Amino acid sequence: MHIDIPEELARDPWFKVVEFLQQNWAVVIEREDDVLVVFYGDTCGVFDEIPFATRDEAEQALCRNGFSKFI
């Protein structure tokens, strides 16, 4: 099975293990006036979005909430 993952979701992701064999993923997308954190599951279904003023604020919020950088 092949799943087309949008380029924005594949670029520089963050992850958080939430249950056995399940992760939540997030990506920080820079926009003209702010940044948007988009949250999605293992099947790439987007389930939430939160805007932040800066990338630093977004990344600090992700860390505070148990997300780590996927390296």
> Looking up tokens 């003023």, which residue turns up?
53
19 — pLDDT class (breaks 50, 70, 90)? confident
For 18, the token pair is 């939430």
Question: pTM for this structure?
Answer: 0.84
SS3 at position 57: helix
Task: Quote the pLDDT of residue 1.
Answer: 37
**Is the pLDDT higher at 17 or at 71?**
17
Residue 55 CA to residue 3 CA, distance in Å, equals 28
Q: What is the pLDDT of residues 20-60, one digit of tens each?
A: 888 999 999 988 999 999 999 988 888 999 999 999 999 99
- The arrangement of strands across the sheet holding 35-41 comes to 46-52, 35-41, 22-30, 14-19, 68-69
